[in-house]
Amino acid sequence: MKNFFRILGLTVAVVVTAACCASARAEVWTVPAPEGQGIENAYRVQVDGKDVAIYRSFDQEKDSGEYYFATFEFTGSVEVKITAPWALDKATVAPERFGVKIAEQSEKEVTLTADKPFQISFEPNGHVKPLMLFGLAPEENAPKEGDPNVVYYGPGVYKPDMIELRDNQTLYVAAGAVVNAGVHAQGKNITICGRGVIAGTEWKRFEGPGSFIIHGTGCENLTIRDVVLRDPWSWTCVLSGCDGATIDGLRICASNMINDDALDLCNTKNVVVKNCFFRAQDDSIAIKGLGGQACENIRIEDCVFWTDRANIFRVGYECQAEAMRNIVAKNIDVLGYSVNYRAPEDYWSNTIVWLQPNQEMLMSDCHFEDFRIRANGTNTILLEAKPMSCSYGNFKDPIPGTLENCSLKNFSVYGEKGDFFGYIYIRGESEQSHVKGLKVENIDYFGEKITKDSDCVSIGDFTEDVVVE
């Protein structure tokens, strides 16, 4: 295991030291940012006296507030001390499920404790200048430099523009590496991994070297693991026409512009997405049909999502596919939803879950369970289940699709209530474009259970076997 460190004299610091429990002796690994990439005059991060590199999300359009991210590896029980040049006495940590606790807190310093890997947002004042802090388990079985099947980037800054991957190749981006590039994967058994950063910072919106930061086309058995993707010029990570993919521990630090969808699964099947942390202005997860096979057998679990201006899940809109079916999302923390509330009748509504079959396509067996949504006092739509005529490309006035056998279960909304209303909005478009067999179960808004008679529930025409209980 590499053990790099340096003293940076940062203005904000995180210090991680071993807790005094011999049975949980801590080890910590840190890697410095390459020259010109780390941020000073912000958070300072230290781990047992070793500095942790701080990066900032680049805001091209000055549309969303700046935020920071940092990564280190550890074992055992640790204390995390965070200092900043701004007030921290009201700082909070989310989500709670990682067990990271605030042990001490003062105006300019906070001490956290942790005893297992975590991915959290440390927030000094709501959504203003948060620190995305990733405390990870040590990396295992890292690829070796010099392997003929490995495209290897060690610590440093690189700008290869485009990286092309084919059968049985691995792209490895080591901790401490920042690779400015687009990555195109096409073939079988391709892996993209490492604890470093793949960045689109060098390019303006829609002017990158490729379509997206990561684009898998026609892949079989694709693996994307652990890397950080930052500052995309368009959609961030896209799989098109793939069969078999595992996306594990991917961290996306976007939100520098609209159209920066975190993960788009287009005509792709047999996918597992887990342990990920996504922040973007646009959709967190978008499942699309842009021509080709069905979008099916997709499982998304144990993730943390944050959108600034769009949707957490958008399933549909583009529906040029045989079908969208067997899509499951479970154990999801939603830390942020759109700052722009739009009513469910609006063509560009913003939601937590939006199911919108289009183009006469059948969308079925989409199930969402165990969601925790942090409210910030503003309103959003919880669920919009509505076949729609969505115009895009050559499809100017398509016929809406059909929605059948879908469910939401065990959703909890907590935090600041304020103007939160949280529509559950369900309706069909016609006898042909209907909603059938939709179950909404055990939905809790700030301790209050939602029923079919709740003001926030709207069940419209062309619906059958819709249950809210």
Query: Is residue 378 a part of any domain in this protein?
Result: yes
Query: Is residue 38 a part of any domain in this protein?
Result: yes
- 202: helix, coil or strand? coil
Which of 116, 136, 156 is the C-terminal boundary of a domain? 136
Same domain, 132 and 252: no
Overall domain count for the chain: 2
Same domain, 242 and 127: no
Same domain, 396 and 254: yes
When pLDDT is averaged across residues 342-354 and rounded to a whole number, the result is 96
Query: Is residue 155 a part of any domain in this protein?
Result: no
Number of Cβ within 10 Å of residue 48's Cβ equals 18
Q: Which CATH number does the domain housing residue 274 bear? A: 2.160.20.10
What digits encode the pLDDT tens for the residues 124-160?
988 889 999 999 999 999 999 999 999 999 999 999 9
Phi then psi dihedrals of residue 440, to 5 deg: -120, 120
Query: Is residue 77 a part of any domain in this protein?
Result: yes
- 4: helix, coil or strand? strand
Query: Is residue 350 a part of any domain in this protein?
Result: yes
What digits encode the pLDDT tens for the residues 268-303?
999 999 999 999 999 999 999 999 999 999 999 999
Same domain, 131 and 252: no
Q: What CA dihedral angle connects 273, 232, 32 and 160, to 10 degrees?
A: 110
Domain extent at residue 71: 13-136
Query: Is residue 20 a part of any domain in this protein?
Result: yes
Query: Is residue 285 a part of any domain in this protein?
Result: yes
Say which residues have a Cβ less than 8 Å from residue 370's Cβ, sequence separation at least 6.
Answer: 330, 331, 332, 409, 410
Same domain, 243 and 131: no
Tell me the pLDDT of the chain averaged across its residues.
92
Query: Is residue 147 a part of any domain in this protein?
Result: no
Residues 219, 225, 229, CA angle at the centre, nearest 5°? 95
pTM here is 0.94
Which of 107, 136, 165 is the C-terminal boundary of a domain? 136
Which of 112, 136, 160 is the C-terminal boundary of a domain? 136
Q: Which CATH number does the domain housing residue 86 bear? A: 2.60.350.10
Q: What distance in Å separates the CA atoms of residue 201 and residue 192, rounded to the nearest whole number?
A: 19
Give residue 126's pLDDT.
Answer: 85
Report the first-to-last Cα separation within the chain, whole angstroms.
51
Same domain, 325 and 460: yes
Give residue 144's pLDDT.
Answer: 92
Same domain, 261 and 368: yes
Are 1 and 29 a contacting pair, CB within 8 Å? yes
Nearest to 4 by CA among 24, 30, 22: 30
Amino acid identity, position 343: A
